[in-house]
Structure 1
Amino acid sequence: MKGRVLIVAGSDSGGGAGIQADIKAVTALGGYAATAVTALTAQDTQGVRAVHPVPLDFLRLQIRMSLEDIGADCIKTGMLADAATIDTVCDALAGCGIPLVADPVMVAKGGAPLLAPEAVETLKRRLMPLATILTPNLPEAEVLSGMRIPDFETMTHAAELLMTLGVPAVLLKGGHFEGPVLRDVLATEEGIEIFESPRIETRHTHGTGCTLASAIATGLAQGMALRDAVARGRAYVAAAIRAAPGFGRGHGPLDHGVTVDPARVAALG
């Protein structure tokens, strides 16, 4: 086990996204996952039924106790829900000097809002300057950049525009576009790199954003270069989608344990 990742995000009672997906992804890639839960959700593969925020003092205590004892080599943020939560998290992390992967979770796969509209400016002003990399999907990037992204040609400009808001790297995910090829744009201070992979036609994609961000965080925690952490994270998510178990009547979960060999584990006994 190598690489400690502190995950600051919401819980998914269905187990496919949020903290649950984060823990599975970090573990599957050989890292150690600690958590600070920002909110509880009641949800399944068909949607979010209810959200219950965690008291801010308790959230702050979770972060402090994790960092002061076990520590972290990378931090990953997911669902932060509102401006007060963002402020609390940023205050708790300010000056820690630990790489941060910020996944700007705004809307659940089923369409339920997970970030208050009035919190967007707080996210841009406070969280993005702390981040090592931002991992928005296309709708999130449109909100954060204030521009429409109607096609792949516009993605590069949008990613570069997001960097002007204080974050040194952006992985803009193109999964919302149609077509046989999925393209993501990685923008850094060194330039632009395009990642391409065949689109996997399936409805079982719940938690892909959470999973990818946590996979990247694990790579950074393990000392990988950013580009390599992104490449491995994308490969892991693709493998987990292909191996998806088919659970649920809506957007089903991935197989986060695709890297685990049960036969090998059994042999150890």
Structure 2
Amino acid sequence: MPLFQRSATGKTRLTLTESAERALPDIRAGLDLLGIGLDRLRELTTSGILNVTVSPAFAAKWLLPRIDRFQARCPETDIRLETSLRLVDYKAHGIDVGVRYGEGSWPGLVAEKLMEEEIFPVCSPTYSDLANLTEPADLTRTTLIHDLSVDPAIGFVTWDMWLQAAGVPEGQPQRGMRIDNSAAVLQAAIEGRGVALARSILASDDLAAGRILRLFPEVKVPSKLAYYVVYRAEYSSLPKLRAFRDWLIDEATSLRS
């Protein structure tokens, strides 16, 4: 039975025959059911690619050093990692899940708090000016490394804010480097370029390895911002997404313990 007929006039084009027009609603319904069935099959497996977005610094300093443990737990899931400082449109870019740093509210997305953090100064154990840093006010006379990767307008702690919390008068000199990547900020401190204002989550491995030292630990300055696992609500039932989310939470819990 013919389903299409070719136009005899003008440009060559195909149109449905009367029989095809009658059958079209049932065909469309069948294809819709097939699509639903494939979606359900996809939800029942943890195999395939999981599209993940994080900031470059979080990838370098926290996620990548630990990702082998996720691969060991879920060897059938492959991670496709997108690193960006900008807020990626999950739907447009096909993102399944991500970790974002902020206040925990992003329109159209589910956000679960993963880790809180503290902000504090760090430097290399071999930093040339370390012996002169006996109190917080001494920081105004050394080279400071400024992190420009997060906007202070959303609550990110700057050197001005930390020094004020430490009781250092305002208006003190703050010469030094300004870098728009938190991982590079820590690397500059590791290399002895100055004193960095570190984020505890990103600095945890470098501190444990002795590559940097925390200065003035008696000064406690918690961040108003935190790390969140973020995903689209309609993807929440995907086993591979749940597996990655649960692994992130397990890793964060072990870091606190």
Give the TM-score normalised by structure 1: 0.26
Larger RCO of the pair (alpha carbons < 8 Å, separation 6+): 2
Say which one has the larger Rg: 2
